[in-house]
Amino acid sequence: MLPIYYCPICFPIPHYNGLRIVDTVQDYCMSISPNRQFPEVDTTLFEQSAKSMQVLMKEASLVLNKLAQSKDFASKVMYAAQQSNMNEVNKLIKSTGIKSKVKTSFNPDGIHLNLSSSIGGAECCQLTISLRWL
């Protein structure tokens, strides 16, 4: 009986690539371009993204500390969300001192904060915080 699906790793089929018969997918793939050249890596944007993410994480800590340490602040955020007052929720979140771009959404179960940063006009990183309140 044949399997319902075909997995080339589990059930390799011999292929003829013009030079020799290869009996695994990996051998076949390697025989197509064994000397593939890769460009030099440039870590500039990667490093800048990591640094921007560090800033986002510090700002996320500001919001989380305020929510965890101030019952009054947490109540205000939940109440504004319950009233679907997006402007007030955003104002409260920004009042924690964060400078990054924040997209806020909420539902009956909790709140979602998406902090993002840009480098040279292009978005480089995002940090999403999801907290439950119900």
Task: Give the pLDDT confidence of 8-48 residue by residue, as tens digits.
Answer: 555 555 555 555 554 555 555 555 555 778 889 999 999 99
Indicate whether 4 and 60 sit together in one domain. no
Per the structure block, which two tokens stand in for 117?
A: 């940063």
pLDDT band at 120 (very low <50, low <70, confident <90, very high): confident
The answer to whether residue 116 sits within a structural domain is yes
Indicate whether 28 and 48 sit together in one domain. no
The answer to whether residue 66 sits within a structural domain is yes
Indicate whether 26 and 65 sit together in one domain. no
Contact 67, 131 (CB under 8 A): yes
What residues contact 38, with CB distance under 8 A and at least 6 apart?
A: none
Q: 86-94 and 71-82 helices cross at what angle (nearest 10)?
A: 160
Indicate whether 29 and 58 sit together in one domain. no
Q: 71-82 and 44-69 helices cross at what angle (nearest 10)?
A: 100
pLDDT band at 3 (very low <50, low <70, confident <90, very high): very low
**Number of domains the chain is built from:** 2
Indicate whether 112 and 55 sit together in one domain. yes
Indicate whether 56 and 121 sit together in one domain. yes
Q: What is the pTM of this model?
A: 0.70
Indicate whether 7 and 58 sit together in one domain. no
Contact 56, 132 (CB under 8 A): no
Assess whether pLDDT exceeds 60 at residue 6. Answer: no
Residues of the domain holding 15: 1-34
Indicate whether 86 and 27 sit together in one domain. no
pLDDT in tens, 47-101: 999 999 999 999 999 999 999 999 999 999 999 999 999 999 999 999 999 999 9
Indicate whether 109 and 65 sit together in one domain. yes
The answer to whether residue 119 sits within a structural domain is yes
Q: What is the pLDDT of residue 128?
A: 97
